[in-house]
Every structure is written in C-alpha cells, then in structure tokens.
Structure 1
Amino acid sequence: MARVLMPLPAQDFDPSEAAVSWLVLTKAGHAVRFATPDGRPAAADDMMLTGRGLDPWGAIPLLRNWPAIGLLMRANHEARRAYAEMMADPNYLAPLRWNAVDAAAFDGLLLPGGHRARGMREYLESEILQNLVAGCFDEQKPVAAICHGVLLAARSISQRTGRPVLRGYRTTALTWAFENSAWSVARFTRFWDPNYYRTYLERRGQPRGFMSVQQEVTRALARPEDFQDVPKDDPNYRRKTSGLVRDSMDDATPAFVVRDRHYVSARWPGDIHTFAKTFAGMLK
C-alpha cells in the first residue's frame, strides 16, 4: 500500500479530477491523505458539480436552477457520485495544513486541477506547494498532475538544479485548444463573467493564449516538442480531441495520458480514469 498526498485549494478544485483519482487509488489499496491551506475540508467548484451558472440565464436567481448547457459541461454522474463518497472519507474531513505536510511520510503526490481563478490561484501560486512538488521530483517520487495541476508542477523549481522540475520531461496538460474552446463558449453562455474558464488572462502586448496552461507549461520545458498532444495518426484522434467524450474505467479510448519515468500527466477530466489507473500502477 502506498501513501499518496493530494493537496487541494480551499475552494474551486475540479471535482472529477480529485474524486475519481481518490476512488481509483483507494480501490487499488492505496491510502490518500489531503492537504488544504488552513486544514479545513476543501470545496469543489460548485458549477462543475451542479451545472448552474453556465447558461445565459445563469445569473437569474430562479432560472439558474434549470441548467441546460451546464448539464453538458459539469462533472458526469460517476464523478459526482465519487465526489459524494470522497466527502465522507475521514481523511477528506480532516486534511493536513499545507505548511504541516511532512513529505517524507508520503510515497507519491497527485496534483488535481481546476480553472476558476477565485480559488485556484492560491494553489497554483503557493511557494509551499511548489517546494513540496520540487522535493518529490528531486527524490524521484511518483508524481501525477492533470490539467492545471501541471501548471503547479511547471512553476516548481528544483533545489538540486535551480531549474523547473519539468525541464527534461515530456508532459501534457490542459491544451490551448480545450481551454480556448471552453472560454469561447463561456463568453456567450456566461456573458456577465466571460472569463470563467481562464485562470490567467493575457496582459496588454501579450499574444493570444500566452497565459494559457499549455503555453506557460511549454515555457518551462527543455524543448517545445516536450509538450505532448494527441498525434494526428492516433486511431481514436476524434474521440480524444473533441472535448465531448470522457473515458471510463472500461474505456480508455477517449483518454490521452503521458508517462515519463516517475511522472504522469493528463489534460482534462475526460482523461481521469486512465490517468488515475496509470498512477495507481506506478505506485505498486
């Protein structure tokens, strides 16, 4: 049995990426502990659970309770059920504080993502977590990162080399194609808050997409080609890149996961089962 640490922000993490990972790891016999900024239970991005607030009428108090587009964009039934089960886990209800984590007590590290700036920036910009990630890479402990979780890894600087820990690794992350697509939809469906899907926006003079997850992660790598996306000749290319099909415990064809030595990465919640199963196998 491996001991896995899953740090979370106080709020707004992606429920699928955290809960399905927890479910797969615990069913594989591994122990998962959580850590939050203040040692209190974290709360997922509510819109990703309910779908409310993702439609053009989402700002109207009564009408927001009748989501339509939101039902397509929220976590699926299996992920919502896993989240409910995870919330009852004693380890979830009694997380460690970020600054009280003893990295030596854990055999692996899993970094979920989330995109809502309100809660995710504290997580992505935490020096405490960046140092924790760097220590795991320096010791070559198994590390898994998905979506914006890869951005946390990309910002972590090795104490051994003084460079980003992902320098020399192959990785994937939330692609600009996925991020831009969701952003484009939200500018119509959530017009009063059009940047909901963009954690960081470009400043004046920066080209479009410069602050996207893909571009920032790529800037931390040794070579641009070390950022991996689905090859055009993949037999399941359409399923993997449509953004409409998610994997399951029994169907990995929509997923795209990259493993490089002790590190595994994935793009979005649609990869989560394959991602978590790959990491669980690495821990054995």
Structure 2
Amino acid sequence: MTPVLQGIGLVKRYGRVTAMDGADFDLEAGEVLAVVGDNGAGKSTLIKALSGAVIPDEGQILVDGSPVRFHSPLDARKYGIETVYQDLALAPAQDIATNMFMGRERRRPGFLGTALRLLDSRGMRAEAQRVLDELGIGIKSMAQPVETLSGGQRQAVAVARAAAFGTRVVIMDEPTAALGVAESAKVLELIGRIRDRGLPVVLISHNMPHVFEIADRVHVHRLGKRVAVVSPRTHTMNQVVGLLTGALRIGADGEVEEVAQAVHTGLDR
C-alpha cells in the first residue's frame, strides 16, 4: 500500500546542529500514527517539514507516492494536509464560525460578494455547525466567542477546523497537553471519529497512555531519525520508552533487544 504521506532521508541543519539526520516517515491510509520522542529528538522538525513550516536541506517528501516540495504551510494545505498546533492558532475574541473559516472566508454569492465583498456569515455558521455535529462536538451556537469555551471545547474547534479542510492528513501537536482527564478523553474520542471517517491522523504526544489508547502504530524518533515503528498490540509501553531513550533497539530479527546486551555480545555497530 502506498503511504498517504511519506518522508525519505530528510535532513535539516541549523548551523552545526543537525535536527533531522536522514529521517524517514510513512503514514498509511485510515490510521492514527503516534510520533514519540524525547525533547530534542527532532520530531518537531520532522512534523514541521511534513506540514510545510520547515524546508528540508536534503531528502524527499511524497504525497500518495508522488514527490512534492512544500515552501510554506499553505503549500501543504493545497495537498489536503492540515495541522493543529499546540497553541491552537485560534482568535479568542472571534466566534466559532469565524475561527473555523479563518483565512478561508466565504463570500456571499453574486454582486454582494464580488463587488461589495460581503462575507457569507450565515453559510459559514451553518457549515461550521454541520462539521461539529458530524464529529459529535456538542456546541450549540456558532456565534459563541471562542474565549467563552473550555479548554477541551477550544481544542475540539481547532480539530474540527482541520477535519473540515483536511482531505488527506490531519496532524495534531500535543492535543491533550493542557487538558484534564475528562476533556482529554473527549479529544481522543474525536481523533478516533476522524480516523473512522477515513482521514489518517498524525499524533505527536508525550502521553504514553493516550498513545497506547488511540494509536494504530507508534513512530519512535531519536537523535534526528526514526529508530522504530511498533504496534501497541505487539509492544509494551516500557518497550517504547526504552526505544526512545536508547536503552533498547530493534535487532536484526525485528525483536526488541537491550543495547547493553548487544554491546556485550559484540553485535553493536
């Protein structure tokens, strides 16, 4: 199966610092792929490259098997890749519908839209309500300012915006980081609904229980590159932590092994 989104040998240097060192990545259709790694592992740079915010120095990005080159997040959007950033990028004083269509506002049809450039506020509110209802997000009024919403509801609005315009991929950066237990559960449920609609999701998270609850596969990033891709069904949380810290690695037979043991037996390269 051709990956929906793929990175091959991606390299990004900032002076003497190499943030990506031949990083690989592949996202399959209809899955939630979690990307995990310690701070400084380079996972943020990888995601920024895949979403158009960073231009790699070397390597290749492919969408549905075809090479692409993103110069900005707008280029990635044109390929149906939407990103929900950790700061959500919402305008608190504006209403929900305005935030949903920010940068993609719809004009009224005919003379009012073309000559007077009036916005189709009613149409945008109706479409925003439809998307939120479809995703099971219980917010009644699209005229409600975002600043009046709870943290979980704000996250849901940002996710719904990505789901509304993302036709290939939705990327989420720490979507439950500032949320309580109940609101985190709702966001994870929302991620599952997006996957069930056939839209693959990339989830960047430090929360291992959340990763193991929702992810189909786990991409482990360390020292600027992918060191493993494992399944929560076949690997434990402790094994994933060991892989991202370097205490464990995937051996030649595909099994997880201790790095110290490999050194002791002379197999470490």
Short-chain TM bin: under 0.3
Larger radius of gyration: 2
Tell me: higher relative CO, structure 1 or 2? Use CA pairs within 8 A at least 6 residues apart.
Answer: 2
**Higher normalized helix content (fraction of residues):** 1
Whose strand fraction is larger, Structure 1's or Structure 2's?
2
